[in-house]
Amino acid sequence: MPSLVERDQAVVWHPYAPPVATPLFAVRETEGVSIRLDDGRWLIDGMSSWWSAIHGYRHPHIDAALRDQLGRMPHVMFGGITHEPAVRLCERLAACAPDGLERVFLSDSGSVAVEVAIKMALQTQIARGRPERSRLLTIRGGYHGDTFGAMAVCDPVTGMHGLFEGVLARHLFAPRPECRFDEPCEDEHIAGIAGLLDDHRDEIAAVILEPIVQGAGGMWFYSPDYLRRVRALCDEAEVLLIADEIATGFGRTGRLFACEHAGVTPDLLCVGKALTGGTMTLAATLATGDVAEALGRTTSEGAPGVFMHGPTFMGNPLACAAANASLDLLDTGEWRSQVAAIGERLEAGLEPCRALSAVDDVRVLGAIGVVELHEPVDMAVVQPAFVEQGVWIRPFGRLVYTMPPFVTPPEAVDRITAAMQVVIGAIER
Ligand SMILES: Cc1ncc(COP(=O)(O)O)c(C=O)c1O
């Protein structure tokens, strides 16, 4: 009888993997902050299932909301029809997002929320009589998803641009902001993006970036001051600002949205991942009143007055119910002290990693702990080593990092950091 892993390897394709994925671990169930493997071992989850399961797994409040919605209406089309779970969710998102974001477009994954934001930005410029403004400006080290529009604004080196040259749209890339989170943004830090905006302002529809924390493109934390200055530059050049908060939204950085660190409102904001507390796939693009007004405009130059996008599963009631339940949990405000406590624990627990020969940098912000190495890890060695330590950590490239669920107890955070010390300590430089 073949094992589950063997059956998988015969037919299943996994993310960022060759046709036959290895190493691969079969999972039986999840509970609280843990994942149980098929062989019975429980692992403490240091990844929150790619940063989404902020309340841990099978939270009774989210489970109950899902069961309730399942009994009434798991799905119905969204064209010409509306329903309470979606309306309530959009009302709540508009209320909790940075001031001025008023209208919500629901979609089914983060990448699609980014595609929607890009289309909205381009269409806004068309409606404003500037169709030639069709390029995007972004910063190196970014990650915005794997669909073609999103991929074209990912870091050109780590984002596999080379493979698809000639097919991807050609956008503009400013240097990564080198001012760290707790440093001011000096003129030299902003000069690259300011220069590109100045030189190409008549071609640029929008600046797109991950505010404060660049996630999968490098786990880099930069100064709120930089974001404030980019907002001002965009205003001055009449270019839109798209904030991709798919990784940072809903508390991960210590603020509900990372834009709050800088006190800025983007013109478009993308959320996903933790929106449903990691239970269902759902994302959203929020737009300001000005953007919504432009998209509703019909002009003789071709602005259609409608936004031409509509995923089949848009506004899925089950996913909206999960998102509303997740927002209920965030509304208690407990996440603030939980994230702060995890951050302190990560600081203390990862500090010893600085002395390890394989380590280049250690940084912590909110409930994110990152150990950057000099060389890329060997996943075939490192992944089983973490499982041996009883934790689930999935590094990429030179980055070994953790983003545990907000409900992770202190001793479990310590288990994660201890495992990181042991596994990284065993890597020879
Ligand atoms: C900042 C950011 N944008 C977009 C995405 C893409 O989201 P999804 O994987 O749901 O398509 C991700 C996923 O890691 C992300 O971190």
- Residue 347 predicted with pLDDT over 80: yes
Cα–Cα dist 154/144, whole Å: 6
Cα 299 to averaged position of ligand 1 atoms, centre (Å): 34
- Residue 429 predicted with pLDDT over 80: no
Residue 40's SS3 state is: coil
pLDDT at 303: 87
With respect to residue 206, please indicate whether it lies within any of the assigned structural domains. yes
Catalytic residue, candidates 45, 108, 143, 226: 143
Q: Is the CB of 249 under 6 A from ligand 1?
A: no
Mean pLDDT of 408-426: 98
Which amino acid belongs to residue 196? L
Per-residue pLDDT of 176-196, as tens digits, reads 999 999 999 999 999 999 999
210 CA: nearest ligand 1 atom: 1
With respect to residue 120, please indicate whether it lies within any of the assigned structural domains. yes
Mean pLDDT of 395-402: 96
Per-residue pLDDT of 359-388, as tens digits, reads 999 999 999 999 999 999 999 999 999 999
DSSP state of 170: -
Domain of residue 69, CATH code:
3.40.640.10
Cα–Cα dist 310/361, whole Å: 43
Mean pLDDT of 89-116: 98
Q: Hey, what are 152's tokens?
A: 């074209």
pLDDT band at 351 (very low <50, low <70, confident <90, very high): very high
- Residue 272 predicted with pLDDT over 90: yes
Closest Cα to atom 16 of ligand 1: 247
With respect to residue 340, please indicate whether it lies within any of the assigned structural domains. no
Cα–Cα dist 208/165, whole Å: 20
pLDDT band at 162 (very low <50, low <70, confident <90, very high): confident
- Ligand 1 pocket test: which of 47, 112, 143 has the largest number of ligand atoms within 8 Å of its C-beta? 143
Cα 272 to averaged position of ligand 1 atoms, centre (Å): 7
Q: Please report, rounded to a whole number, the percentage of residues in the chain having pLDDT higher than 90.
A: 96
Q: For residue 333, give every residue at least 6 positions away whose Cβ sits within 8 Å of its Cβ, in sequence order, or none.
A: none
Q: Is the model's pTM score more than 0.75?
A: yes
Domain count, the chain: 1
Per-residue pLDDT of 215-243, as tens digits, reads 999 999 999 999 999 999 999 999 999 99
Helices 379-388 and 410-425 cross at an angle (nearest 10°) of 140
Q: For residue 129, give every residue at least 6 positions away whose Cβ sits within 8 Å of its Cβ, in sequence order, or none.
A: 299, 301
- Ligand 1 pocket test: which of 48, 146, 210, 273 has the largest number of ligand atoms within 8 Å of its C-beta? 273
Would residue 16 show up in a list of annotated catalytic residues for this protein? yes
Range of the domain at 301: 63-331
Mean pLDDT of 65-89: 98
Cα–Cα dist 297/275, whole Å: 30
With respect to residue 1, please indicate whether it lies within any of the assigned structural domains. no
With respect to residue 294, please indicate whether it lies within any of the assigned structural domains. yes
Q: Is the CB of 216 under 6 A from ligand 1?
A: yes
Cα–Cα dist 296/278, whole Å: 33
- Residue 159 predicted with pLDDT over 80: no
Phi, psi angle pair for 393, to nearest 5°: -130, 130
Mean pLDDT of 125-129: 95
Would residue 244 show up in a list of annotated catalytic residues for this protein? yes
Mean pLDDT of the chain: 97
With respect to residue 135, please indicate whether it lies within any of the assigned structural domains. yes
Catalytic residue, candidates 57, 226, 267, 273: 273
pLDDT at 249: 98
Q: Is the CB of 159 under 6 A from ligand 1?
A: no
pLDDT at 128: 95
Closest Cα to atom 2 of ligand 1: 144
Mean pLDDT of 266-273: 99
With respect to residue 407, please indicate whether it lies within any of the assigned structural domains. no
With respect to residue 204, please indicate whether it lies within any of the assigned structural domains. yes
Q: Is the CB of 251 under 6 A from ligand 1?
A: no
